[in-house]
Amino acid sequence: MRIESASFGEHHWSRQSFLSEINNDLGYYYTAEDLETGKVIGYCGFWLIQEEAHVTTIAVAPEYRKKSVGELLLQQIVDACYENMAKWITLEVRVSNVPAQNLYYKYGFKSLGARPKYYQDNDEDALIMWTENIWNTNFKEMFEVLKNELNKKFEVSKV
């Protein structure tokens, strides 16, 4: 809940919303933890509806941002989509959240429209983003390259 309120302000999910999501048969949720402290530093989730995964949330504790935790969580979502035979991944992102958009573009998402006044706190629009079929060779190759690059980054930082 600390990460949720820090990430999304006063219009964050309630404790009950979290419990409902965790118990949702369509939902898949994951956490990232600091291995030295055991502290949860981020989380992500998606709903799987037939062959489509809809990302519901990705959030990282403020003190761990810009350290690739969000990217690791996005990779977890893609890996889970492969495990569950999803073909497409979609999400909404604030039009003002350029860092998140850049991460999604890096992973092959494309902006395919907008949802006007999607966010309740300030009536901000959301971009609707989609991947191509993640089983296409181009997507799979791009994803593997990005995973390997991030793994190397963490291997280097451990030395």
Q: State pLDDT tens for residues 80-117.
A: 999 999 999 999 998 999 999 999 999 999 999 999 88
Residue 128 pLDDT grade (very low, low, confident, very high; cuts 50, 70, 90): very high
Helix-helix angle 69-83:98-106, to 10 degrees: 40
Catalytic residue selected from 28, 92, 107, 124: 92
Q: What's the total number of domains in the chain?
A: 1
* CATH number reported for the structural domain that contains residue 148 in this entry: 3.40.630.30
Q: Which of 28, 43, 71, 104 is catalytic?
A: 104
- 104 catalytically annotated: yes
Q: Residue 10: is its pLDDT beyond 80? A: no
Cα gap 133→137, rounded to integer Å? 9
- DSSP conformation letters of 15-58: HHHHHHHHT-TTEEEEEEE-TTT--EEEEEEEEEETTEEEEEEE
Taking CA 76 as the corner, what is the angle to CA 74 and CA 80, rounded to the nearest 5 degrees?
A: 120
pLDDT in tens, 42-66: 999 999 999 999 999 999 998 988 8
Residue 72's domain comprises 2-158
**Active site includes 4?**
no
pTM of the model: 0.88
